Amino acid sequence: MARSSSKDAQDLFRALWSAYAATPTNLKIIDLYVLFAVFTALIQLAQALDVLAELYGHREYIQEVPLEIVTLFKVVYMALVGSFPFNSFLSGVLSCVGTAVLAVCLRIQVNKENKEFKDLAPERAFADFVLCNLVLHLVIMNFLG
Amino acid sequence: MAASDAHSGASIRHAFGNVLGFFILLLIGVLAFSIRLFSVIKYESVIHEFDPYFNYRVTQFLTKNGIYDFWNWFDDRTWYPLGRVIGGTVYPGLTLTAGTLWWMLNSLNIPLSVETVCVFTAPIFSAFASWATYLLTKEVKGTGAGLTAAVLLAMVNFSSSFVPSYISRSVAGSYDNEAVAIFALIFTFYLYIKTLNTGSLFYATLNSIAYFYMVCSWGGYTFIINLIPMHVLLCIVTGRYSSRLYIAYAPLVVLGTLLASLVPVVGFNAVMTSEHFASFLVFIIIHVVALVYYIKGILSPKMFKVALALVVSAGLAVCCAMVAVLIALVASSPTKGWSGRSLSLLDPTYASKYIPIIASVSEHQPPTWPSYFMDINVLAFLVPAGIIACFSPLSDASSFVVLYIVTSVYFSGVMVRLMLVLAPAACILSGIALSQAFDVFTRSIKLQLPSVSGQSNVDAGEASSGNVVPNDPVKTDKNEDTSKERTSKKSKKKEKEHVEKPVSKSQIKKRLLVLPLETSIIAIILLVLLGAFYVVHSVWAAAEAYSAPSIVLTSHSHDGLHVFDDFREAYAWLSHNTEIDDKVASWWDYGYQTTAMANRTVIVDNNTWNNTHIATVGTAMSSPEKAAWEIFHSLDVKYVLVVFGGLVGYPSDDINKFLWMVRIGGGVFPHIKEPDYLRDGQYRIDSMATPTMLNCLMYKLSYYRFVETDGKAFDRVRRTEIGKKYFKLTHFEEVFTTHHWMVRIYKLKPPKNRIRGKIKKSKSVQNKLENKLEKKRTKKEPLLV
């Protein structure tokens, strides 16, 4: 049972990979961008989580669960401060999440296979994307204080 | 030849419809504006009621001192001795809007006073609101253009500019948050639906900005941030997920949350309180769903099944863990992270059980059935028809409207004030219902008229030309759209797809749906009559029921019109005859007015943020004179203001509000007990009243010297003679009573001089002496003053 499911999983990943390899390069670039943004957001979250845990003295409790992840991120968040100025933490995380979300939207719109957006020119989609990003980052700069 | 003829005819009709539609819009705007001017015509251009006075005062401050001082404004004239941080505790949307309007007008050299701008803000925005309602309806029903759209427009605008429950909050002079917030609410919904229909990021950006304006304007923004996730969830559950849904929702959550936390009064609440958690949860869900759809798209069906089996088992565990963490977080806070007002919405009995201060506000009470009829009138009967019309065909947008009406009906059932949220939804749905009805009837008339003339051949031809009419506007639409931006073209195309399918299907249906000629004519006449009845009712409601400023009162009697301008008389007296730093105590209802009109410091006001402080004033009002004097003296109070309607029969006076003072006071200070003021559970002030009642400060201040008016001391509000007619005040003295006795102002007597040598004497002697001294002083006092 376990072997078959692991074989299934292997098959699945192979299928996923081959299917993904067929996507156009520009979409792949966007995907990388999204991944990067999500990764940054996760780092900030983990760092905030750790600081919170230290604050509340539940450090071991947190460390029980995602041990590897926490240790992995420790290197990164050493230099950073934590979630204390809550607005900067929030704007940091939300800017990453927002960037990722907007990039996903862009990806949806420029994807040629997506029939819903067939007559939306990629230039137009990109202009919208830039506008939205502009608003997002204006707000974030304002929110940072 | 015939085809081109038909085409040119249709395009003329289309152009005609557009022009007509434009004029209808314009006229409806004028109408929506002018129907709200009754209060200015009947009374004068004056700010109404309680909260508007505060907003007016804030706007004055803003225009005088600029925006930075406004954000940092610490107001030391209310909530003495605590004060209030105005910039951080007020929804600034309304104030900033009116301030900007005033600034613009002044820079155009139109010298209007701030007050005038404030008075007319609400009517202006109600015109905007009716336009926004039309846009939303158009987006929901997606009828192309031309006469049908014009009819729809007329119907929706017609109902929305007239709906009494909205009129009640937006007459000229009622300068309150809701005046602009309803416009913002509808406009946000419109942009959401627009984004949903087009899938354009541009509209998503606009949507979050509109949401920002809504957050600025009114606490009711939580309605949006809960309704939209509900709709998204509904779409996902019913298998209507599309990438347009993702574009409409995900940027809104991120941008909206960030923008909302820019507003000082919301701040971190935008991520910390339970009102907003629903949106985050749905945000996560929509990402999972989007990923699933994406993987489904790139994998073969068989592999997808395998993936599903793997992912579901792993995903469920993660989801469970997250939900558990979330619940633990929420449960760890005492109120479960909900604010009192939201809780009283979810559990209608909550407020009356725990927070008397919320329950004591009359607009937080549940409405009665007559008030539904009064406020939305015939719309109440048209709404169900509109809901049915939304289900054929059901689109993402129409399901949103259905969800909107269902939730708003519930909320309006909990609080009278939220009837306001119901009003636009009712307008949209009844507008849809009416326009559909007109559509059916006129079409059946059109189909029947030639068949009356005779030939069966014509019937078939007419039927096909009848089909041309709904098709052609779509075609011309397309031509027009090439000049427009591509997204709107996109939307129209979608609409076209939407429209065309039902059209082709309903070609057969239409033939079946033809009603007899006489029936349809009668039905149209009846519908018009219904509309006329509605107009009559609304105009009556606007003129009679909702235009009273409640600052100036009028009454008609056999010898003509009486005007009671007592409030302004009293506030003017205060501002002219008291020191600038004197503190005035009154029940919190009159706090805003006192600071705005009399410019005196008050102890509590309508921003009921500190329950204990209000309870202190309530306790003072329900204590005997000496204890009350001590409480007031400890708060530095110089004057006490009570509102008394017994002489002229003004029912919302302090004696009628008194039980709430007892309840709120007793909630914090347990020595005040409600049963002490009730005789056998009845609240009465006649000779059967309890001694506690007859000796409390409120009774004494209200009825002091009342017997001198008619010799019998007959209270016209309670319709009874009062219980204790002759009494003297020991610690207070009357300084001013207005013309109709509606406002009475008392001054606290200064503390007695202590007479050193007599302290050691026995108490009885001392009391006697004190009484004597006091009598002397009361005689002397007027001379001294």
Q: Inter-chain contact A125–B250, Cβ cutoff 8 Å?
A: no
User: B388: left (phi > 0), else alpha (psi -120 to 50), else beta?
Assistant: alpha
d(CA B155, CA B539): 17
Q: Indicate the average pLDDT of chain B.
A: 78
d(CA A54, CA A76): 17
Most B CBs within 10 Å: which of A105, A111, A138, A144, as the mutation test of the B interface? Answer: A105
For residue B401, the one-letter residue type is: V
Q: Which of A16, A101, A136 sits opposite B250 (nearest CB)?
A: A101
Give whole-number Cα distances, B121 to B94, B118, B183, B213, in Å: 9, 5, 12, 16
Q: Which of B254, B152, B241, B163 is nearest to B205 (CA)?
A: B254
Q: Is residue B102 over pLDDT 90? A: yes
Whether complex ipTM tops 0.95: no
Which pLDDT value is given to residue B161? 64
Query: Predicted confidence band at A84 (pLDDT cuts at 50, 70, 90)?
Result: low
The residue whose two tokens read 């054929």 is B392
Which pLDDT value is given to residue B374? 79
Q: Give the pLDDT confidence of B57-71 residue by residue, as tens digits.
A: 999 999 999 888 888
Q: Inter-chain contact B258–A105, Cβ cutoff 8 Å?
A: no
Which pLDDT value is given to residue A4? 59
Query: Predicted confidence band at B160 (pLDDT cuts at 50, 70, 90)?
Result: low
- Please state whether the predicted TM-score (pTM) of the whole model is above 0.90: no
d(CA B172, CA B184): 18
Q: Give the pLDDT confidence of B622-668 residue by residue, as tens digits.
A: 888 888 888 888 888 889 998 888 888 888 888 888 888 888 888 88
Nearest residue of chain A to residue B246 (CA atoms): A105
Which pLDDT value is given to residue B212? 93
d(CA B121, CA B176): 9
d(CA B260, CA B284): 19
The residue whose two tokens read 């007020």 is B90
Q: Inter-chain contact A105–B262, Cβ cutoff 8 Å?
A: no
Q: Is residue B722 over pLDDT 90? A: no
A4 touches chain B (CB under 8 A): no
Which pLDDT value is given to residue A37? 87
Nearest residue of chain B to residue A105 (CA atoms): B247
A1 touches chain B (CB under 8 A): no
Tally of CB atoms within 10 A around B489: 20
Q: What is the DSSP letter of B546?
A: S
Q: Inter-chain contact A12–B300, Cβ cutoff 8 Å?
A: no
Q: Chain A residues with CB inside 8 Å of B204's CB?
A: 105, 132
What range does the domain containing A118 cover? 24-144
Whether B313 and B304 have beta carbons less than 8 Å apart is answered as no
CA distance B185 to chain A (A): 21
Q: Apex CA B304: angle with CA B300 and CA B308, to 5°?
A: 180
Which pLDDT value is given to residue B341? 63
Q: What is the 3-state secondary structure (H, E, C) of B639-655?
A: EEEEECCCCCCCCCCHH
Tally of CB atoms within 10 A around B413: 15
A86 touches chain B (CB under 8 A): yes
Q: What is the 3-state secondary structure (H, E, C) of B566-590?
A: HHHHHHHHHHHHCCCCCEEECCHHH
Whether B380 and B426 have beta carbons less than 8 Å apart is answered as yes
User: B218: left (phi > 0), else alpha (psi -120 to 50), else beta?
Assistant: beta
Q: Which of B262, B290, B266, B264 is nearest to B276 (CA)?
A: B266
A5 touches chain B (CB under 8 A): yes
Token digits of residue B359: 């329950």
Whether B167 and B537 have beta carbons less than 8 Å apart is answered as no
The residues that bridge with B561 in the sheet, in sequence order, are B556
Q: Is residue A106 part of a domain?
A: yes
CA distance A119 to chain B (A): 7
Task: Spell out a b/e string for A35-48, using b for 16 or more CB atoms within 10 Å of the CB, else e.
Answer: eebbebbebbbbbb
The residues that bridge with B640 in the sheet, in sequence order, are B585, B746
Whether B141 and B398 have beta carbons less than 8 Å apart is answered as yes
Q: Which residues contact residue B576 at a Cβ distance below 8 angstroms, ignoring those fewer than 6 apart?
A: none
Token digits of residue A55: 């604050």
d(CA B490, CA B523): 37
Q: Chain B residues with CB inside 8 Å of A19's CB?
A: 298-299
Nearest residue of chain B to residue A108 (CA atoms): B243
Q: Is residue B468 over pLDDT 70? A: no
The number of helix segments (H) and strand segments (E) in chain B equals 35, 11
The total domain count for chain A is 1
Q: Is the peptide bond before B393 cis (omega within 30 degrees of 0)?
A: yes
Helix axes B277-298, A2-21, angle to 10 degrees: 80
Q: Is residue A56 over pLDDT 60? A: no
Q: Which of B244, B290, B490 sits opposite A119 (nearest CB)?
A: B490
- What mean pLDDT comes out for the span B416-428? 83
HSE-up of residue B277 (Cα within 13 Å, Cβ side)? 13
Q: Inter-chain contact A128–B201, Cβ cutoff 8 Å?
A: yes
Tally of CB atoms within 10 A around A71: 10
A53 touches chain B (CB under 8 A): no
Least confident of B24-28, B300-304, B776-780: B776-780
CA distance B53 to chain A (A): 31
Q: Is residue A3 part of a domain?
A: no
Q: Give the pLDDT confidence of B499-536 residue by residue, as tens digits.
A: 444 444 445 555 556 677 888 888 888 888 888 888 88
Q: Is B92 exposed, middle or buried (0-12, 13-18, 19+ CB in 10 A)?
A: buried
The residue whose two tokens read 């009598």 is B775
Q: Which of B201, B300, B303 sits opposite A132 (nearest CB)?
A: B201
Most confident of the ranges A20-34, A125-139, B69-83, B756-770: A125-139
Q: Which residues contact residue B339 at a Cβ distance below 8 angstroms, ignoring those fewer than 6 apart?
A: B273, B275
Q: Give the pLDDT confidence of B176-224 residue by residue, as tens digits.
A: 888 888 899 999 999 999 998 888 889 999 999 999 999 999 888 888 9
Q: Give the pLDDT confidence of B750-760 residue by residue, as tens digits.
A: 887 766 655 55
Most confident of the ranges B260-264, B392-396, B760-764: B260-264
Q: Residues of A numbered 11-50 whose beta carbons fall under 8 angstroms of chain B's beta carbons: which are they?
A: 11-12, 15-16, 19-20, 22-23
Q: Is residue A1 part of a domain?
A: no
Tally of CB atoms within 10 A around B482: 8
Most A CBs within 10 Å: which of B196, B245, B247, as the mutation test of the A interface? Answer: B247
Which pLDDT value is given to residue B148? 57
Which pLDDT value is given to residue B465? 37
Q: Is residue B478 over pLDDT 50? A: no
Q: Which of A16, A116, A132 sits opposite B199 (nearest CB)?
A: A116
Q: Is the peptide bond before B81 cis (omega within 30 degrees of 0)?
A: yes
